[in-house]
Chains A and B, each alone.
Chain A
Amino acid sequence: MDMRRPPRTVSDPKVRQVGFVTPSVAPPTRSLSDAPTTVAAAAAALSASSPPSGEISLPGSSLSPVMIPPPRHASSDGRPSAPVAVPNPASSLRRDSLRIRVGSYNASEVVLGTPPSASPSSRTDYTASEFSEEAMSPWHGRSGTAKVASSFPGSSSEMIVMKTGVVGGGGAGSTPKSPLTTASVVKTLPGISEKEREVLMGTQNDGAGASKTLKEKTTKAERRALQEAQRAAKAAAKEAGAGVKPSAASGSAVAANTKQGKVVKPPPQKKDGPQIAPPSGTSEKKVVDRPPEKDRKKDVPAPRMQFDDKHRVEKAKRRAVVNQFEAKNRVELFRHLPQYIHGTQLPDLEGKFFQLDPMHPSVYKVGLQYLSGKISGGNARCIAMLLAFREAIRDYSTPPEKALVRDLTAKISSFVSFLIECRPLSISMGNAIKFLKNRIAKLPDAMSESEAKSSLQSDIDRFISEKIVIADKVIIRHAVTKIRDGDVLLTYGLSSVVEMILVYAHEVGKQFRVVIVDSRPKLEGQVLLHRLVAKGLNCTYTHINAISYIMHEVTRVFLGAASVLSNGTVYSRVGTACVAMVANAFRVPVLICCEAYKFHERVQLDSICSNELGDPDAISKVSGRKDLNHLDNWADNENLQLLNLSYDATPSDYVSMIITDYGMLPPSSVPVIVREYRRENLWI
Chain B
Amino acid sequence: MDPNPKPNHGISAYYKTRAEHHAIISGDWLAQAQAATAAGHPLEVPPASATALSAASKPFSIIDEFNHWRRKPDLAEAVAAIMALVAGIRSSDATTMMELEIELKKASDALKSWDTTSISLSAACDLFMRYVTRTSALEYEDFHAAKLRLIERGEKFGEISLKARRTIAMLGQDFIFDGCTILVHGFSRVVLEVLKLASSNRKLFRVFCTEGRPDKTGLGLSKELAALGIPVKLLIDSAVAYAMDEVDMVLVGADGIVESGGIINMMGTYQTALIAHSMNKPVYVAAESYKFARLYPLDQKDLEPALRPVEFGVPIPSGVEIEKSARDYTPPHYLTLLFTDLGVLTPSVVSDELIQLYL
Q: How far is the CB of A655 from chain B (nearest CB, A)?
A: 11
Q: Are A664 and B296 in contact (CB under 8 A)?
A: yes
Q: Decide if B259 touches A663 in the complex (CB within 8 Å).
A: yes
Asked if B259 contacts A673 (CB within 8 A), the reply is no
**Are A662 and B355 touching (Cβ within 8 A)?**
yes
Q: Which A residues lie within 8 Å of B355 (CB)? A: 662-663, 665, 669, 672-673, 676
Q: Say yes or no for B51: interface residue by CB 8 A criterion.
A: no
Docked Cα-Cα span, A656 to B258, in Å, equals: 13
Task: List the B residue with the shortest CB-CB distance to A669.
Answer: B351
Complex formed: what's the CA distance from A663 to B294 in Å?
9
Chain B positions within 8 Å of A573 at CB level? none
Q: How far is the CA of A589 from the CA of B300 in the complex (A)?
A: 12
Instruction: Report the bound CA distance from A484 to B304 in whole Å.
Output: 12
Is B28 at the interface (CB under 8 A from chain A)? no
Which of these, B299, B301, B302, B351, contacts A665 with CB under 8 Å? B351
Name the distance in Å between B119's Cβ and chain A's nearest Cβ: 16
Contact flags B301-337 to A (C-beta < 8 A → 1, else 0): 1100000000000000000000000000000100000
Query: Are B359 and A666 interface neighbours, CB within 8 A?
Result: no
Set of chain B residues within 8 Å of A662, measured between Cβ atoms: 355, 359
- Which residue of A482, A484, A591, A666 has the most chain B CB atoms within 10 A of its CB atom? A666
When each residue 653-670 of chain A gets 1 if its CB lies under 8 Å from chain B and 0 otherwise, what string results? 000110000111110110
Give the interface size class of chain A. Answer: 10 to 19
What's the Cα separation between A304 and B21 when bound, in Å?
A: 63
- A668 and B259: CB pair below 8 A? no
B199 within 8 A of A: no
Chief secondary structure at chain B's binding surface: loop
Query: Inside 8 A of B299's CB, which chain A residues have their CB?
Result: 589
Check A482–B260 contact: CB distance below 8 A.
no
List which A460-489 residues lie within 8 A (CB) of chain B.
482, 484
Nearest B residue (CB) for A587: B299
Q: How far is the CA of A663 from the CA of B355 in the complex (A)?
A: 9
Q: Are B259 and A666 in contact (CB under 8 A)?
A: yes
Cβ A668 vs Cβ B261 within 8 A: yes
Residue B39 at the A interface, CB < 8 A?
no
Interface: B352 (CB within 8 A)? yes
Total residues of chain B contacting the partner, CB 8 A: 17
B348 at the binding interface (Cβ < 8 Å): yes
Which residues of B lie under 8 Å from residue A664 when comparing CB positions? 259, 296
A217 within 8 A of partner (CB): no
Name the interface residues of A640-684: CB closer than 8 Å to any CB of B: 656-657, 662-666, 668-669, 672-673, 676
Is residue B227 contacting chain A, with contact meaning CB distance below 8 A? no
Query: What CA separation (Å) do A304 and B311 show in the bound complex?
Result: 66
**A556 interfacial by beta-carbon distance below 8 Å:** yes
B351 touches A668 (CB 8 A): yes
CB <8 Å contact, A669 and B348: yes
Contact of B298 among A656, A663, A672, A673 (CB under 8 A): A656
Give bound CA distance, A231 to B296, whole Å: 56
Cα of A662 to Cα of B294 in the assembled complex, Å: 11
Q: Could you tell me the distance between the alpha carbons of A484 and B297 in the complex, rounded to whole angstroms?
A: 12
Q: A656-B298, A665-B259 are in contact. Are A676 and B351 (CB under 8 A)?
A: no
When distances are taken between beta carbons in the complex, the residues of chain A under 8 Å from B301 are: 484
A657 & B359 in contact (Cβ 8 Å cutoff)? no
Complex interface bits, B201-237 against A, C-beta within 8 A gives 1, otherwise 0:
0000000000000000000000000000000000000
Is the beta-carbon distance between A666 and B260 smaller than 8 angstroms?
A: yes
A556 touches B351 (CB 8 A): no
Q: Which residues of A contact B348 (CB under 8 A)?
A: 666, 668-669
Most A CB contacts (10 A, CB to CB) among B294, B299, B358 go to B299
Residues facing B in A577-596 (CB within 8 A) are 589, 591
- Separation of A669 and B294 alpha carbons in the complex (Å): 13
Do residues A556 and B259 form an inter-chain contact, with CB atoms below 8 A? no
Which residues on B sit within 8 Å (CB–CB) of A665?
259, 296, 351, 355
B298 touches A666 (CB 8 A): no
Min CB distance B264 to A, Å, is 15
B residues in contact with A666, CB < 8 Å = 259-261, 296, 332, 348, 351
A556 and B298 alpha carbons, distance in the complex (Å):
9
Assembly CA distance A672 to B259 (angstroms): 13
**A676 to B359 alpha-carbon distance, docked (Å):** 9
Complex CA distance for A657 and B302, rounded to whole angstroms: 13
Q: Which residues of chain A are within 8 angstroms of B302 by Cβ–Cβ distance?
A: 482, 484
Q: In the bound complex, do residue A657 and residue B294 qualify as a contact, i.e. CB atoms below 8 Å apart?
A: no
User: Bound state CA distance, A657 and B359, in angstroms?
Assistant: 18
Q: Chain B nearest CB: distance from A200 CB in Å?
A: 57
Smallest CB-CB separation from A556: which chain B residue?
Answer: B298
Q: Which residues of A contact B351 (CB under 8 A)?
A: 665-666, 668-669, 672
Q: Is the CB of B352 within 8 A of A657?
A: no
Between A589, A591, A668, the greatest number of chain B beta carbons within 10 A of the residue's beta carbon is seen for A668
Please indicate the chain B residues that have their CB under 8 angstroms from the CB of A657 in the complex: 260, 296, 298
Min Cβ gap A636→B in Å is 51
Beta-carbon contacts of B233-268 to A below 8 Å, as 1s and 0s? 000000000000000000000000001110000000
Interface residues as binary, A124-155 with B (CB distance below 8 Å gives 1, 0 otherwise): 00000000000000000000000000000000
Nearest chain A CB to B329 CB, angstrom units: 12
Minimum Cβ distance to chain B for residue A669 (Å): 4
Chain B residues near A669 (CB-CB < 8 A): 348, 351-352, 355
Q: Mark interface residues in B329-359 (1 if CB within 8 Å of A CB, else 0).
A: 0001000000000000000100110011011
A599 to B336, CA, bound (A): 27
CA–CA, A662 to B355, complex, Å? 8
Of all chain B residues, which has the CB nearest A673? B355
How far apart are the CA atoms of A45 and B332 in the complex, in Å? 67
Rounded to whole Å, the gap between the CB of A678 and the closest CB of chain B is 13
- Closest partner residue, chain B, to A653 (CB atom): B333
Closest-by-CB residue of A relative to B333 is A653
B residues near A556, Cβ cutoff 8 Å: 298
How far does the Cβ of A509 sit from chain B's closest Cβ, in whole Å?
A: 19
Cross-chain contact A672 with B294 (CB below 8 angstroms): no
Q: In the bound complex, what is the Cα–Cα distance between A284 and B124 (angstroms)?
A: 64
Determine how close the nearest CB of chain A comes to the CB of B57; give it in whole angstroms.
38
For the complex, give the distance between the alpha carbons of A662 and B354 in Å: 11
Q: Which of B299, B348, B351, B358 has the most CB of A within 10 A?
A: B351
Across-interface contacts of A676 in B (CB, < 8 A):
355-356, 359
Q: How far is the CA of A663 from the CA of B356 in the complex (A)?
A: 12
Shortest beta-carbon distance, A682 to chain B, in Å?
Answer: 16
Closest to B260 in A: A666
Q: In the complex, what residue of chain A is closest to B351 when comparing beta carbons? A: A669
Q: Which residues of A contact B294 (CB under 8 A)?
A: 663
- Please, which residues of chain A bring their CB within 8 A of the CB of B332? 666
Cα(A663)–Cα(B259), bound, Å: 10
Known pairs A662-B359, A664-B259, A665-B259; A672 contacts B352 (CB<8 A):
yes
Inside 8 A of B298's CB, which chain A residues have their CB?
Answer: 482, 556, 589, 591, 656-657
- Max chain B Cβ within 10 angstroms of own Cβ: one of A484, A591, A672: A672
Q: Tell me the complex Cα distance, A427–B161, Å.
A: 44
6 further A-B contacts with Cβ under 8 Å, apart from A657-B296, A666-B348, are A657-B260, A663-B294, A663-B296, A666-B296, A672-B351, A672-B352
10 nearest A-B residue pairs (beta carbon): A668-B348, A669-B351, A589-B298, A664-B296, A666-B260, A672-B352, A672-B355, A666-B351, A665-B351, A662-B359
**Can you identify 10 A-B contacts, CB atoms within 8 angstroms?**
A663-B296, A665-B351, A665-B355, A666-B260, A666-B261, A666-B351, A668-B351, A672-B355, A676-B355, A676-B359
